[in-house]
Amino acid sequence: MSFGVLLKRLRSERDMSLRDLSGRLRMDHAYLSRLENGTVLPSTRVIQELSRVFGISKEELSLSAGKFPKDVAKVFYEHPREVVSVIRQQFAVYNTIQHSHAHNGDTNGTRDLKPVFQTGQGRLYQCDCLDLLPAIKTESIDCVFADPPFNLRKNYGQLVDDNLAETKYLEWSYQWLNQLVRVLKPGGSLFVYNLPKWNVLFGAFLGKSLTFRHWIAIDIKATLPIPGRLYPSHYSLLYFAKGKPRIFHRPRVPIPQCRHCGGDIKDYGGHRKYLNPEGLNVTDVWNDIPPVRHQKYKTRGANELSVKLLQRVLEISTEPGDLVLDPFGGGGTTYYVAETMNRRWVGCEIEDCGPIIRRLKSNLFTGALAQVA
């Protein structure tokens, strides 16, 4: 906001005319008019007097006039890249999609977006998520699950750059996170699956507008050690809600037993007989999610999520008929599970959608099959 616009707004809020302000400041009426029109810039004394009259900080007035405080200017000049990154993270300015036909779901942005596949319950688009998300209505989604590229230099295809500079990766991530917050209904749930390195920062970003629920650790069955660091053994699943969750179901898991002798792995302090026969309450450490590594069960060459992971996510946070969004289609696990659990869904994949479509048409996995509309 320019200095002149800010000055006019301050006067309007206090129902003060230019002549009234001129009298209080003991300044020429014509000079104040030129300040509002932007033909002159305010002096330091004018900024001090306006700060006193309107009760607004001198820093805010100075910045609107294009004048940086000396200490702030020094930091900008010495660390420009770091300062810009911090400001963008703090104020979430990544909501301007230059190449989109819609902004914040307020226009008919889907006019150029046509699904490449649809069923009676869902629609799949082949496009960048930053093209699809702005076209989705504000507060229209019940649950979001996002599994973006982890920036590990993997080959997902020609349209995905998985080797970005850290600042670029974060800038891109804050764009789609900001859109996910917007489209989520009050009481809706948002899950983000990623490395702890990134989810630490994503959690801080999301905590400014959503309610933190859980950091869920997904046990990794087999990984390679990293020199100079502790052995990594989990991916993280962030769980946020928009206010109080509308839906929260607490799943139960079978009591762990030894696969060799069939006995209980734990003795439960001698209180085994008091355990619920339906199983144990699930915790925020999930060590029963199998990785999808066998080629027989993979629908694409790149990494693929376990059906069990998405079943649990949707069991916790949704009911039949709810609308689920996944902006990174990948192997189509979210859409497949949504079909089998009678949830509506929408999503996109920027690369080849063939594996997703074949999966939704096949009977490779158990569950209800998609009916092509």
Q: What is 302-357 written as a DSSP string?
A: S----HHHHHHHHHHH--TT-EEEES--TT-HHHHHHHHTT-EEEEE-SS--HHHH
Average pLDDT of the chain to the nearest whole number: 81
Residue 259, pLDDT score: 67
Closest C-alpha to 238, from 180, 292, 277, 183 = 180
The predicted pLDDT at position 16 comes to: 85
Dist. CA 259–CA 233, nearest whole Å? 22
DSSP state of 54: H
Q: Is the pLDDT of residue 106 over 80?
A: no
Region 138-150 average pLDDT: 96
Give all strands of the β-sheet with 285-286 in edge-to-edge order: 117-118, 122-125, 344-348, 323-326, 141-146, 184-194, 234-241, 211-219, 285-286
| Of 305, 311, 309, residue with least CA distance to 328 | 305
Which residues, 6+ apart, have CB-to-CB distance to 308 below 8 Å?
Answer: 288, 289, 290
Q: How many C-beta atoms surround the C-beta of residue 161 within 10 A? A: 13
**Domains in the chain with CATH codes:** 3-68 (1.10.260.40), 109-247+284-361 (3.40.50.150)
Confidence of residue 96 (pLDDT cuts 50, 70, 90): very low
* Token duo for residue 221: 């069955």
Residues 157-198: tens digit of each pLDDT: 788 888 889 999 999 999 999 999 999 999 999 999 999 999
Q: Where are the beta strands (DSSP E) in the chain?
A: 117-118, 122-125, 141-146, 184-194, 211-219, 234-241, 252-253, 280-281, 285-286, 323-326, 344-348
The pLDDT score that the predictor gives to residue 357 is 94
Confidence of residue 324 (pLDDT cuts 50, 70, 90): very high
Statement: residue 342 has pLDDT above 80: yes
Q: Hey, what amino acid is at 221?
A: K
Q: Judge whether residue 19 has pLDDT over 90.
A: no
Closest CA to 355 of 308, 300, 306: 300
Q: Read out DSSP for 157-170?
A: -TT------HHHHH
Q: Give the model's pLDDT for residue 89.
A: 52
pLDDT digits (tens, 9 = 90+) for 267-320: 565 556 556 666 677 888 898 887 765 445 445 455 678 999 999 999 999 999
pLDDT at 279: 64
Does the pLDDT value for residue 58 go beyond 80? yes
For residues 247-259, average pLDDT: 77
Q: Tell me how far CA of residue 335 lies from CA of 106, 325, 327, 342, 364, in angstroms.
A: 26, 9, 11, 10, 15
Output the pLDDT for position 367.
44
Q: What integer is the mean pLDDT of 230-247? A: 93
Query: Considering only CA atoms, which of 211, 188, 176 is closest in space to residue 141?
Result: 188
Please give the pLDDT value at position 271: 53
Structure-token match 């696969």, residue found: 259
Give the residue, 263 or 334, on which the prediction is more confident: 334
